[in-house]
């Protein structure tokens, strides 16, 4: 894409391919074992499946980038792919969505990360393998400096990469940071990533992750928010599955219901990415927390009606149409 393209958001994280395998309902089951649900199938046998679907150019950062692009903001992606056909497919898929891919680094000696998703009923079990890329933060020209950075999931060997990101953010204090921590970023811990947390403008977590990151009490939302704000984030968003979502700016706190589903969810991959990226896009457009909270669940609702994390992502006009049709009860309530 042209150097003249204005980048509002640089999304940072991994990009890969998802292969969905739709399991037949009768050939699998979910059992509760010691409070943890387990997907159960016959061992050492041939198991028929319904069908498979391959989706290129996904991952938390890539999903957010596509979402933000469809909502009309200029967005680029900093990620790694392998020097294989899969890597080419990832870059082409993102380019078709209007995502600036100039900072997607091709690693000739590596494969592109390829994940398998066992899709059973409306949920999924993901078999992941992050390829061990040698993470390097790229040179970002002054003309490419974004208003926001959206930082999310990377691989386990990317710890020191966060120091490079923090250095760059320190050198560019006008850049705002949105952070949706991935599994390994939570594993690194808040003390090791304290420079990142101190810079966060908006932090996105689900309720269980909020407990893990901040150490607050699961049943006490105010305690969860208090402990997360202490780390540095100015705004904290906590999603809570069927119970909706919550947001706090440190002074005002809100509960937001989910947007009504037009049909039972087909598959839930990417719902959290859709919420976070849409909340950020609304913020970039100048909306306040209450208005951003009304936008975000709409994209989550739409995503779970399709297969994969991106097929259901809405354009700005589509999102506004859903908003215009929202029931009276679809509004944030102050806690």
pLDDT digits (tens, 9 = 90+) for 11-25: 999 999 999 999 999
230-264: pLDDT as tens digits:
999 999 999 999 999 999 999 999 999 999 999 99
Instruction: Give the C-alpha separation, 260 to 327, whole Å.
Output: 9
CATH assignment, 9-14+57-112+133-334: 3.40.1190.20
Confidence of residue 143 (pLDDT cuts 50, 70, 90): confident
H-assigned helices in the chain: 60-70, 85-96, 161-171, 183-188, 194-199, 207-214, 221-230, 271-284, 289-303, 316-324
Collapsed DSSP state (helix, strand, coil) of residue 107? strand
Helix count and strand count (H, E) for the chain: 10, 16
Would you state the pLDDT for residue 1? 43
The closest alpha carbon to 200, from 213, 211, 187, 212, belongs to: 213
> Cα–Cα–Cα angle for 136, 18, 207, nearest 5°?
80
Q: Is the pLDDT of residue 2 over 80?
A: no
Q: What is the mean pLDDT of residues 287-293?
A: 98
Would you state the pLDDT for residue 321? 98
Mean pLDDT computed over every residue of the chain: 95
Collapsed DSSP state (helix, strand, coil) of residue 238? strand
Q: What is the mean pLDDT of residues 291-316?
A: 97
Confidence of residue 34 (pLDDT cuts 50, 70, 90): confident
Q: Which residues pair with 126 in a beta bridge?
A: 117
Confidence of residue 114 (pLDDT cuts 50, 70, 90): very high
Collapsed DSSP state (helix, strand, coil) of residue 96? helix
Would you state the pLDDT for residue 5? 61
Domain boundaries, the chain: 9-14+57-112+133-334
Q: What is the mean pLDDT of residues 70-79?
A: 97
Q: Is the pLDDT of residue 220 over 50?
A: yes
Are 123 and 23 contacting, i.e. CB atoms less than 8 angstroms apart?
Answer: no
Instruction: Give the C-alpha separation, 91 to 80, whole Å.
Output: 10
Q: What is the mean pLDDT of residues 217-232?
A: 98
Confidence of residue 122 (pLDDT cuts 50, 70, 90): confident
Instruction: Give the C-alpha separation, 79 to 328, whole Å.
Output: 41
Prediction pTM value: 0.95
Q: What is the mean pLDDT of residues 297-301?
A: 98
Instruction: Give the C-alpha separation, 219 to 240, whole Å.
Output: 12
Q: Is the pLDDT of residue 219 over 60?
A: yes
């Amino acid at each position: 894409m042209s150097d003249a393209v204005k980048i509002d958001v640089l999304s940072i994280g991994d990009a890969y391919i998802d292969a969905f395998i739709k399991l037949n309902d009768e050939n699998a089951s979910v059992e509760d074992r010691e409070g943890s649900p387990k997907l159960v199938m016959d061992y050492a046998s041939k198991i028929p499946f319904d069908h498979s679907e391959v989706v290129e150019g996904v991952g938390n950062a890539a999903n957010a980038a596509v979402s933000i692009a469809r909502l009309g903001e200029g967005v680029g992606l900093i990620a790694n792919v392998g020097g294989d056909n899969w890597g080419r497919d990832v870059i082409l898929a993102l380019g078709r969505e209007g995502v600036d891919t100039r900072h997607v680094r091709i690693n000739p000696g590596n494969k592109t990360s390829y994940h398998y998703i066992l899709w059973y009923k409306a949920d999924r079990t993901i078999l992941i393998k992050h390829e061990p890329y040698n993470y390097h933060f790229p040179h970002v020209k002054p003309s490419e400096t974004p208003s926001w950075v959206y930082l999310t999931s990377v691989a386990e060997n990317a710890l020191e990469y966060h120091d490079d990101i923090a250095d760059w953010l320190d050198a560019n204090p006008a850049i705002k940071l949105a952070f949706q921590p991935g599994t390994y970023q939570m594993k690194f811990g808040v003390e090791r990533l304290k420079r990142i947390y101190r810079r966060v403008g908006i932090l996105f977590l689900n309720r269980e992750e909020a407990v893990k990151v901040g150490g607050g009490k699961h049943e006490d939302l105010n305690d969860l928010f208090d402990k997360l704000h202490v780390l540095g984030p100015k705004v904290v968003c906590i999603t809570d599955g069927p119970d909706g979502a919550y947001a706090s700016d440190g002074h005002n706190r809100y509960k937001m219901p989910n947007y009504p589903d037009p049909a039972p969810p087909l598959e839930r991959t990417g719902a959290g990415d859709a919420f976070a990226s849409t909340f950020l896009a609304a913020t970039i457009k100048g909306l306040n927390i209450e208005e951003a909270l009304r936008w975000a669940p709409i994209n989550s609702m739409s995503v779970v009606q399709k297969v994969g994390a991106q097929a259901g992502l809405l354009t700005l006009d589509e999102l506004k149409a859903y908003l215009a049709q929202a029931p009276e009860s679809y509004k944030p309530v102050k806690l």
